Amino acid sequence: MRNRRAIVGLGLLTLGAGLGAQSGGHPHANFIQPEGIRASASYTHVVEVTGGRTVYLAGQVAIDAGGNLVGPGDLRAQAQQVFENLETALASVGGGFEHLVKTNIYVTDMADLAGLREVRSQYMADPPPTSTLVQVVQLAREGFLLEVEGIAVVPE
């Protein structure tokens, strides 16, 4: 069962057995905007990855290193802290935003997406990763307006 889960997870990134060895351990990401699907400037529809290590990032919220909520009621301020936390998480495995291949973004209100997009664009590499944006009723703790999780492929 464990192997089946691993295969399914890797399949999401279109990775196959032995691809890491073929590329010498250095990830190569092919960002694809398929014909027949409307292209987006803020995300890529398909990312094909070979090589590297797959890293799963837990959902990051607007909590600083001291455990304090940053930006109560302010999506832009919370987004700034969330992306700082993602940057720290990526750096802990030798990665950066250029290694992200997938993000899932959860917001409690779609009203201020302009602020979120502005902050996001300050951090994301070009081309951007695949991404999903979902509005939810509530996040894990009252006061959280945003949570972002990610999948990255970093060099071996």
Q: Structural domain of residue 25, as residue ranges?
A: 2-154
More confident: 18 or 46: 46
Say which CATH number the domain at 145 has.
Answer: 3.30.1330.40
3-state secondary structure of 134: strand
Q: Is pLDDT at 20 greater than 90 in this prediction?
A: no
Q: What is the pTM of this model?
A: 0.79
Q: Is pLDDT at 29 greater than 90 in this prediction?
A: no
**% of the chain surpassing 90 pLDDT:** 78
Q: Are 116 and 146 in contact (CB under 8 A)?
A: yes
Please enumerate in sequence order all residues whose Cβ is within 8 A of that of 107, keeping only pairs 6 or more positions apart, or say none.
75, 113, 116, 133, 134, 135, 136, 145, 146
58-107 confidence digits (pLDDT tens): 999 999 999 999 999 999 999 999 999 999 999 999 999 999 999 999 99
pLDDT at 11: 35
Interatomic CA distance for residues 63 and 43, integer angstroms: 25
The rounded radius of gyration (Å) of the Cα atoms in the chain is 16
Q: Is pLDDT at 142 greater than 80 in this prediction?
A: yes
109-131 confidence digits (pLDDT tens): 999 899 999 999 999 999 999 99
Number of domains in the chain: 1
Over the chain, what is the mean pLDDT? 86
Range 9-38 average pLDDT: 58
